Amino acid sequence: MQRFIEAEDPETGHRMDFNELRAETSSLMVAGASTGSVTMNWMTYYLSKNPSIKSRVIDGLREMFLHNATGGVAVGVPAATLGRNKSVYPNPDLWDPDRWTGDSTTTDLATMKTSYLGFRYGSRGCIGRNVADQFIQKMIAQLLLRYDIQLEDPSLVLGAKEFTIQKPDQKNNVVLTPRGEVL
């Protein structure tokens, strides 16, 4: 998105306005989904029309993926546990956003960044992680700047329920009081 925002027409020096940026972004999202679905459509068609090739592809996939050393056991990566690794994160059970600034002498920021699995790591990372990161940052920034945010029940202590991600174990409501700032 930043590249679109900074892009200039080489002849006029003109940058895209909001409507142009929105149109380009929408086109890319539609194109990505469309390209993937059309490709899969053609693949299934041609594989169905060519059973001997389909059989070879399936055999190759089995050979690549079915050498499971765990014997059919489901394996997951516990992101919350990894995020509390004492060898990577100083005081891992303390909520300390400052550890990410790199100012601490006990913090190896590069190792922390490669160990954090909130949305990602490597080729199996969430394809929407950049959009999610931007959405979260923008939303939280706007909420914090526009409202004073307080827990409805200040004595509330949340635990976690284990799902694919850890979710709060109970409802937690907040009270938003407008700050009166216009952004």
Instruction: Pick out the residues of the known binding site for heme.
Output: 126
Distance separating alpha carbons of residues 127 and 123, to the nearest angstrom? 9
Cβ neighbours, 10 Å, residue 117: 17
SS3 annotation, 56-76: HHHHHHHHHHCCCCCCCCCCC
**Residue 132, CA atoms < 13 Å, CB-side half-sphere:** 8
Contact 122, 116 (CB under 8 A): no
Measured distance CA(159)–CA(149) in Å, rounded? 20
How far, in Å, CA of 151 to CA of 13, rounded? 49
Question: Residues marked as binding?
Answer: 126
